[in-house]
Amino acid sequence: MPKPAPVSVDVDTPSPFRSRAEKIREREEKREAVLRAAVRMFNAQGFHATSLDDVAASLGISKPTIYHYLGNKEQVLIECVTRGLEPLRLAAEAAKHEPGTGLERLRRFLRHYARINMEDFGRCMVRTGDEFLSHEGAVQFRARKRAIDMALRGLIEDGIADGSIAPADVKLTAFTLAGALNWPARWHDPAGPASVEDIAASMVDILTSGLAPRS
Residue 210 has pLDDT above 90, yes or no: no
Residues 55, 99: one domain? no
CA-CA distance, 134 to 128, in Å (whole number)? 13
CATH assignment at residue 32: 1.10.10.60
Residues 64, 78: one domain? no
Contact (CB, 8 A) for 104 and 208: no
What pLDDT does 162 receive?
Answer: 94
What pLDDT does 122 receive?
Answer: 92
Largest CA distance in the chain: 102
Contact (CB, 8 A) for 106 and 159: yes
Phi, psi of 118 (to 5 degrees): -100, 5
- Cα dihedral 195, 196, 202, 203, rounded to 10, equals 150
Q: Judge whether 167 lies within some domain.
A: yes
| Mean pLDDT (whole number) for 20-42 | 84
| Mean pLDDT (whole number) for 138-147 | 87
Mean pLDDT score of the chain: 86
Residues 57, 149: one domain? no
Number of domains in the chain: 2
| Mean pLDDT (whole number) for 123-134 | 83
Residues 164, 99: one domain? yes
Helices (H) and strands (E) in the chain, counts: 10, 0
| Position with higher pLDDT, 155 vs 67 | 155
DSSP 114-136: HHHHTSHHHHHHHH--GGGS-HH
Range of 59's domain? Answer: 20-71
The 3-class SS string of 143-158 reads HHHHHHHHHHHHHHHH
Residues 28, 55: one domain? yes
**pLDDT > 90: percent of the chain:** 40
Phi-psi region of 204 (alpha: psi -120 to 50; beta: other; left: phi over 0): alpha
Give 3-state DSSP helix, strand, coil % of the chain, rounded to 5: 70, 0, 30
pLDDT band at 18 (very low <50, low <70, confident <90, very high): low
| Position with higher pLDDT, 206 vs 3 | 206
| Mean pLDDT (whole number) for 35-47 | 89
Residue 188 has pLDDT above 80, yes or no: yes
Q: Judge whether 2 lies within some domain.
A: no
